[in-house]
Chains A and B, each alone.
Chain A
Amino acid sequence: MKRLKFLLLAAALALALNRTALGADVGTHLMTFDFQAINEIEVTGSPILTVASAVAGEQPQEATDSSSTCAITTNGTNKRITAIIDTAMPAHVTLKVGVTAPSGSGISQGYVTLTTSASNVVTGISHVADSNPTITYKLSATVQAGMLSTDTRTVTFTLSD
């Protein structure tokens, strides 16, 4: 009989629990955020480099310009910046570029000779937004280049995998 009383009590409890559970209904909705890949680079500056002096007995002095900057944003990992020129440099003339790594990410490859093939200038860039990396150009020529008239080159920087 005691067992029967216990079961009756359990039954009452079950009823009470059921009532509590039935007192709660649920509605839902979804929140979705699609984060697209972002790989943005923007370069500013139109440097002018002139090789015009030399120390007697030595090759002409290299011209340097650090007035350009690039701004980079990526939410990806292990990205790189490459640089390429549109037309090859004249014989005995070399144009190099060096880009500082964005703050906290990436490795600068130092001064890289620019050619019509893309060259890595910064590698290993991940999750960064920085508008301050400096671009430095160095123009050099040997006496074999002779006198050259003013010429222009377009340097294209690309942020990619």
Chain B
Amino acid sequence: MRFLIKIFIIFFLAPLFFVPQTAHADRYIKIKVTGNWSETIDKKDLLSGAGSDLKSTYTSVSGQVSIDIRGTKGINDAWRIDIRKVDNNWNDNLHPYVMRTSDGKGGRVSGGTSYQEVTDINTPFFSGSGKVKGINVQLRLTGPSIQIPPSSYSTVLYYTVVDIQ
């Protein structure tokens, strides 16, 4: 009996963890995120020269980031995009925000049209259905001040597309 169980594990159970990922990967919804955002903050960003603090809010152009959704099974194949950040070198006084500024072309998109803070925890951003290309996202940073020591701060925003059907 033990021999049969071993055979079962080796030839049937174990491959289940590996084979399907390759065989069916193309059947699931894919996301493509294009664009980064970088800013240099220096004395030109002082509100009114010496004696004043830095601007506290920085906003990117409207289409700083573009998102494509593909691999859906049709116009009604629903999905949701969750967002979170993973910090490289970051300062807790800095707060990144995202806002969807266009619907893109193709399927349906809804939500995410007001600024939403990105935290370390995955949070729903917007949702939609079907294949969509060119969903624009605007980015915002709040919190800069002269209390933040000179350095290069960076964080990575993770957009996870979740198939909700």
A-side residues, CB < 8 A to B, are: 3-4, 7, 10-11, 14-15, 18-19, 21-38, 40-42, 71-77, 127-132
Contact = CB atoms under 8 A, between A and B. Distances in A.
Nearest to A75: B146
Contacts of A73: 43, 46, 49-53, 146
B150 A36 contact: yes
A131 B46 CA distance: 13
B61 interface: no
Contacts of A26: 31, 158-161
Nearest to A159: B50
B39 interface: yes
Contacts of B146: 38, 73-75, 127-129
Interface of B: 1, 4-5, 8-9, 12-13, 16-17, 20-21, 24-25, 27-43, 46, 49-54, 58, 65, 67, 71, 85, 94, 96, 139, 141, 144, 146-163
Contacts of B27: 22
Contacts of B42: 36, 38
Contacts of B147: 75, 127
Contacts of B150: 35-38, 75-76
28 contacts: A22-B28, A24-B28, A26-B158, A26-B160, A28-B159, A29-B36, A29-B156, A30-B154, A30-B156, A31-B155, A32-B38, A32-B39, A34-B40, A35-B151, A36-B42, A37-B150, A38-B146, A40-B46, A40-B51, A42-B49, A71-B51, A72-B50, A72-B51, A73-B50, A73-B53, A75-B148, A77-B149, A129-B51
B1 to A, nearest CB: 8
